[in-house]
Structure 1
Amino acid sequence: MAKGKTTYDCGLDAAVDVVGGKWKPLILWALHANGTTRFGELRRQIVRVSEKVLIQQLRELEADGIVHREVYPEVPPRVEYSLTPLGEALNTALVPLGVWGDRFMTEILAIKEARREEAA
């Protein structure tokens, strides 16, 4: 839950609080597609995210009960991430959003490009 947030106005408010941000949906998608994943693997799969931001987003998802973090007592330590049942349910809810994005990606990109050209 976001800092200072104690109530929600609706279910969408709660969901956006948990999954809000550029990288969290991509983290969820990667963990769903690949199952239990080591940090380095996850970092390679989400190529544009910085290590610092990935760590921060994973910690937030873990705190919200969406991601499970398993640390193995080895040298060097091995850390693996997986979705909790709550995380799996959230990922399932994101599927229609991904379908919408696939369907309209070309239009979205064209609109953004036109806005960039107007601003230049």
Structure 2
Amino acid sequence: MDSLLKLLMGPWTTYILWVLKNDGPLRFGELKSRMAGISSKVLTDRLRMLEGAGLVHREYTPSIPPAVSYELTPRGHELKDVLQGLNALALRWHQEDMGVEA
């Protein structure tokens, strides 16, 4: 449990997983454009870490220009319910903070 929580608590990590779950597979530039405020360096570091953890697959196509896309692995897809739960909680809290009844 501790290792999974440490993995997910890194900066931008759950957001990257969320975007790939909803929109993937995506090329690097497409992924970056969906994540306002993330730097290329941080996105690259996070993707490498997630790839190393077996949650994200990097697909390289030797073309001109080279194409690299990212998508969730089956292991990454196992986080679907967790990510959806976090989204539901975030929406509820946002509504509460805005004084809107759910």
TM-score, reference length from structure 2: 0.87
Cα distance between partner residues in 1 of 2:31 and 2:8: 17
Report the counterpart of residue 95 of structure 1 in structure 2: 84
Q: How many residues align?
A: 99
Report the counterpart of residue 17 of structure 2 in structure 1: 28
Bigger helix share: 1
Q: Which stretches in structure 2 are left out of the alignment for 5+ residues?
A: none
SS in 1 for 2:79: helix
Compare CA radii of gyration and give the structure with the larger one: 1
Percent of residue pairs bearing the same amino acid type: 41
How far has the Cα of 1:59 moved from its partner? 0.3
1:70/1:79 contact within 8 Å kept: yes
Q: Which stretches in structure 1 are left out of the alignment for 5+ residues?
A: 1-10, 110-120
SS in 1 for 2:63: coil
SS in 2 for 1:65: coil
Of 47, 50, 54, which aligns to 1:61?
50
SS in 2 for 1:25: helix
Deviations 1:56-105 (A, max 9, x none): 00000000000000111112210000000110112322221221111112
Question: Which residues of 2 match residues 34-113 of structure 1 at below 5 A?
Answer: 34-105=23-94
TM-score, reference length from structure 1: 0.75
TM superposition outliers: structure 1 runs of 4+ over 2 Å: 105-109
Cα distance between partner residues in 1 of 2:41 and 2:58: 16
CA RMSD of aligned residues (A): 1.8
